[in-house]
Structure 1
Amino acid sequence: MRALIQRVTHASVSVDDEIVGRIDHGLLALIGVAAEDDAASAERLLHKLLHYRVFADEAGRMNRNLQQAEGGLLLVSQFTLVAATDKGLRPSFSSAAPPAHGQAMFEHLVTRAQAAWPKVATGRFGADMQVALVNDGPVTFLLET
């Protein structure tokens, strides 16, 4: 699994002009599921999402994780993150999970995240979503399992 995370001052995701997920400061995580990903992949990614140190401590250094910063986590499925882009001028999605598997893995991640942290919001799997955010820093990282 891959997550493109951005530290944000706030973020939201809308479907058909309705906000379906919103957080204040925290992490926006765009989630890509590959065909070979399983529940263990989701567990490893969740551990990284909750514990990756990208928030400033008292000295201004990135030493605090999401939980220490008491931030929100906005999870948004984005299959394009697993596209192969190394050849040609058109992405290949052959390594992406089929929709049913991708949805199952994304929902597993969401369920486990909600059980582990109270400030979790999501987009809507497979929907045409509009994501709005203010990147804080900017701080952006690609996490992989």
Structure 2
Amino acid sequence: MSKDNHIYPSKDAVFKMYKYLTTYENTVAAHPGEFDLESKELQQFLVKQNIIIKPVSKSKFVKDLARNNYIVYICGDHKTEYDDKAHDLLRYIRNAIGHALITKTAVNRACFNITDKNKNQSITMRGNIEESLFFALLEQLIKTKK
């Protein structure tokens, strides 16, 4: 198996992803502007788990970082009246799951490679995060709802 072969998530991970899709549609999607990327609890979690979340302003800045446990994504790419970086991230993760853009590689089976693209195929989110931390991060992001 070459290093570039994609390995898709386990059945258990897929179940958790679809559970998140349900949560997103029922409790997150209709509430932009109500989540807080800067919440104290979320920031403590990110520091403790050594996760970097990096919102950027343009697609050309969505690049891989030379480490594990990071997500870089475009924020404020919508024409609405809210500025909710956490909601943007939750939406991109929802899209990555919905479009089957979460994979693993033979090189690093412990981590998910996460990507999201817009309708023009420009990358809007890119990340690499340990599977267990991915699901814990989703929980923490959802808990930031005001």
Q: Name the TM-score, length of structure 1 as normaliser.
A: 0.29
Kindly indicate whether structure 1 or structure 2 has the higher relative contact order, using CA contacts under 8 Å at least 6 residues apart. 1
Q: Name the TM-score, length of structure 2 as normaliser.
A: 0.29
Instruction: Decide which structure has greater strand share.
Output: 1
